[in-house]
Amino acid sequence: MADDAENDAPEWSPPKHDAVTGVALYGDLPLNHRLRAEALADAGETEDPDGLITPELIADAVGRLAADRAAEEKAHPPVSSNMRVAELERIATLEEVDLSTATNNDERVSLIQAKRDGINPASAGSTEG
């Protein structure tokens, strides 16, 4: 009878999932081919240790991620307090940031960064509940 119990057990189990994203995993990497290739590319890997995807898919992900990062930097260029006021104002205008309350570049940079981080500058310093 013990042999029958072993034969009744399923030969598969559902994939585990990432606790934060809910993405199905194979090993420690996403099961989805695109997400898996991007994770391996971010880690600097050129081959999938589990052999699920080809090196070509990983290389394609490297190029795609580089293009995405370049587009993001072009859309949201880095800002610093040593930039010219006119340049900070140009960036703020493109990103729809109100700099009317800023009196110096540190404040301008803070307002731009707050907008990028999704913080409402009007309520950022508020302690009201």
Q: Select from 45, 52, 4 the least CA-distant residue to 25.
A: 52
Q: What is the pLDDT of residue 5?
A: 53
CB-neighbour burial class of residue 31 (10 A; exposed 0-12, middle 13-18, buried 19+): middle
Across the range 50-56, mean pLDDT stands at 95
Looking at residue 4, its pLDDT comes to 52
83 CB contacts (<8 Å, ≥6 apart)?
A: 105, 109
DSSP H helical ranges for 19-104: 33-42, 55-75, 85-94
Does pLDDT of 11 surpass 80? no
Tell which wins on pLDDT, 129 or 27: 27
Q: Quick one: pLDDT at residue 128?
A: 44
Pick left, alpha or beta for residue 21 (phi over 0 → left; psi -120 to 50 → alpha; otherwise beta): alpha
Tokens of 13: 């189990």
CB atoms within 10 A of CB 75: 9
